[in-house]
Every structure is written in structure tokens, then in C-alpha cells.
Amino acid sequence: MSQSLGRALQILVSLGEGERSLDQLATELGVHKTTVLRLLRTMEAERFVRRDEAHRYRLGSRLFALADVAREQHVVRDVAAPHLRQLNQKTGQTVHLAAWENGEVVYIDKLDSVRSVRMYSQVGVPAALHCTAVGKVLLAAQPKRQREALLASMDYRAYTPNTITDADHLRDELAITSERGWAQDKAEHESFINCIGAPVKDHDGRIVGAVSVSVPDVLLNYDQVLELLPDLLATTKAITADYN
């Protein structure tokens, strides 16, 4: 661990015990005040800490937001786990669970195909918003203002000849996704992979996750992947029921 990162984490642990002054933090870390101040300024700019009028430091709002996300993802993953295993065993294909995190879609669970073919996706790694099924499901679920801001600022990288590369086309795709209740990735992210994804909802109807089934075209073509849609929707319905 880098020295600066280690000290920043020590600061967070200290502030978790209560407010501190600059002098107190410097004493606890055993370093000069200028070193601590440099770290605090960076952490304050990112809202990990906040400073009051008396120049005392407390934990910042960014941590509370991250804690809420972590708690929600933990719950969704735990509830979904047995249903994902059942879907994986029934279809024999790769199954993903993803969640929204700070403007990104992140894989929070993955069960590999029982076949020898493996996908490159990894737990903890963001999924492309514009060309993955889970990305489309969760992007479509965002409030219109936030969704439009993302559509305007997104890097529409063309991963394959089928990748959506402009905001208008993606906006239409998201509207279709919302209307029918599931999304497709028709060889848009990887040229040899077709994928379908559907949402998981909480008791208020808010989408808190997305499940997908991904299949190499050497095993099933796109139309055959669509035949797995009833299994996928049954899985997300079961997860939603248990989540509530």
C-alpha cells in the first residue's frame, strides 16, 4: 500500500471515531501538519471529509453515499445468489448480476458457463453502458435528466460493427428496453457474444440490479438465446419477490 493511501485511510478511521483537528490528526499519524493538510484538502475536494467553521474535520457525505451503495449491492447479491445458480445450472450459460454505482454499471456477481468458453467480464469491473444488456437495463432506469446527461457525455466506443455509436440510436434502444422490460446485446460488445438482460426491482418498483445471460455464438445463435428469455424473466421475478 502506498504511504499516502495508508495515511488517508488512517484519517478516515480516526474521523470514524469522532471529529478531529489538524493538530490531532498530525499527532495520531505521527507526521507533519503540512502532510496531513495536503491529504485533507484532496479528501475534502472529493467529499470524503468535511471541515466545519471551527476547522475541525468530520467524515464527508461521499462516504455515506458509498455506504448506501455497498449495503444495497450486498443485499441484492445475497438475495440473488441462489436464483443465479439455478439459472446458470438450467441454461448452462454465463450469468451476470450488475448494479448502478456512481454513474456506472458494475458487475457484482458472475457465474461462468459450464462450457469451456469463458467471457472476459469480471466482478467489480464496470460494464459498457451503450452496448451491454445490463448497461442498457440500468441506464434506462435512471431519471431522465441524469440519463440525458450521460447520453450527451458518453464515449460511444465501437467495440464491434454492431455497437451503437450515437445518442439518438441509444435513446431509442433504451425506450424499447423500458417498454418491453428487457435489453439485448446483439454482438455489440464482443463480436461472438449475444446477451439478454432484465431488471431486478425493490418493493417500490425501483430497479436495483440487472441479471443477464451471455452466450457465445458457437453455442447458440441470437434467436436461440432469445429462447432463454422466459428463464431469465422468471429469475428476475423470483429475485424481486425475495428482495421484497
Helix, strand or coil for residue 115?
Answer: coil
The pLDDT tens digits of the residues spanning 194-214 come to 999 999 998 888 999 999 999
* Mean pLDDT score across all residues of the chain: 91
φ, ψ (nearest 5 deg) of residue 154: -70, 145
The pLDDT tens digits of the residues spanning 69-110 come to 776 667 788 899 999 999 999 999 999 999 998 889 999 999
CB 177 within 8 A of CB 147: no
Q: What percent of the chain has pLDDT over 90?
A: 74
214 grid coordinates: 451471455
Q: Which residue has the higher pLDDT, 190 or 204?
A: 190
122 grid coordinates: 469480471
pLDDT at 116 (0 to 100): 66
User: How much is the pTM?
Assistant: 0.74
**C-alpha to C-alpha distance for 134 and 108, rounded to whole angstroms:** 11
Residues 6+ apart with CB under 8 A from 69: 99, 101, 102
